Amino acid sequence: MATCKACNDPLVLPLDLEGDSGDEGSSSQTQHQETVPDDLEMQACSCHFHWQCLLDQSSAVVSSLTCPACNTYLPSNSSGSSSSSSQPPQQKMILTNYTNEGGLQTDLNILSVLTEEAFLSTHPESRPARAMHTMAAEGDVAGLLELVGDIDSDPDVEMTASQLLVWRDPLNGGRGVLHVAVEARQEEVFWLLLWVGSGLATNMFPQAVMQAAGAMGLSRREDAIPRNEDVRFVVDDQGRAAADVCLQMGSPWELYVSGGLFN
């Protein structure tokens, strides 16, 4: 059986079988442990890894762009090679074939995954903020509420809720969470973020939003929110606030700008 280049174990993961914690039959279960495939093949060199084993070496891979087992240069370009200076810069990709419980995924680009993991390994304090941006893009209102509500009481989290809401993502062009919500067209998240993280007057919110906030037990900050802690005024690396993104998105987003939500 093929093995992982990092740990030398077979390219499978043991299947977690619930309800089999008793001693009876445990010996038989150990001998006949059910497994699922976990085989990440690098297209550039054909080396194989467990998914987590490669993630554990993400910092080294991202800094060198080489295989940690054989030192082969891994990236390929997103388009064919061209020497014309008029061509846009080509995006690097690290292409893989990944087989897991769900089957085979070919041409899977994992460079962004490795880049994120390398960043978070050196900036672990940013994990909650990255998680919040993912929740905003996916419209996970419940997850957002739990994260923002619990963060100030979590001794393991270095950011405050106010800092979390205005955090700019260096892996996504310096966007704030409101940029992410607008670009993903997540209106419920948009209004939630304005409610908990902006100085917008309460009477500017639609009645339905205020009723929903009340039903969820969401309170607003009682003190005045300074501009540098207001989600509306976070700017990305292009100098765009969320209002500028709204204008690019068309209806109904542009109406929120003309309606005074960003004044």
Task: Please write the tens of the pLDDT for every residue from 128-143.
Answer: 999 999 999 999 999 9
pLDDT at 149: 84
DSSP the chain: --B-TTT--BSEEE---TT--SSTTHHHHHHT--EEE-EEEETTT--EE-HHHHHTTHHHHHHH-B-TTT--B--EESS-----TTSPPPPEE-EEEEEETTEEEEEEE-HHHHHHHHHHHH-GGGHHHHHHHHHHHHT-HHHHHHHHHHGGG-TT--S-HHHHHT--BTTTTTB-HHHHHHHTT-HHHHHHHHHHH----GGGS-HHHHHHHHHTTPPPPSSPPPGGG-GGG---TTS--HHHHHHHH-TTHHHHHHTTTT-
More confident site: 63 or 31:
63
Kindly report, residue by residue over 184-197, the tens digit of the pLDDT.
999 999 999 999 99
Same domain, 135 and 239: yes
pTM of the model: 0.78
Q: Are residues 109 and 133 in the same domain?
A: no
User: Is the same domain home to 91 and 147?
Assistant: no
The residue from 118, 137, 165 where one domain ends is 118
Domains contained in the chain, number: 2
Ranges 104-108, 149-153, 207-211, 256-260: which has the least confidence = 149-153
Whether residues 113 and 129 fall in one domain? no
**What is the domain-level CATH number for residue 183?**
1.25.40
Q: Which domain holds residue 144?
A: 124-258
Query: Is residue 69 situated within a structural domain?
Result: yes
Confidence band, pLDDT 50/70/90 cuts, at residue 86: very low
- The verdict on residue 190 lying in a domain is yes
